[in-house]
Amino acid sequence: EVYEGMIIGEHNRNSDLNVNPCKEKKLTNVRASGKDENTVLTPVLPLTLEQAIEFIVDDEVVEVTPKSIRPRKAILNNSARQIAAKRSTP
């Protein structure tokens, strides 16, 4: 199960990258010269509570349920996160 605000990977830069892993690329021109390669996501490595706490930054929290331990954003909605970031900077 994937939901908005869930952390599904690590970006190689210092900023956040918002992605939708459930959305498929639309094929508009099947004969296009560019390749429409499938991107294969690596499976999730299960985190312990200590690893998850070590992994998160200031705007993230660790969600602990009986079945899983997941890092996620404190504010789930992307537009609400952007508004909160603008308000917090002087």
pLDDT of residue 31: 63
pLDDT of residue 42: 75
Per run of 10 residues, the mean pLDDT along the chain (length 90 residues) is 82 82 71 64 82 90 92 91 86
**Hey, which residues does 61 pair with through a beta bridge?**
72
pLDDT of residue 65: 92
- Report the distance separating Cα 29 and Cα 46, nearest Å: 39
pLDDT of residue 10: 80
pLDDT of residue 74: 92
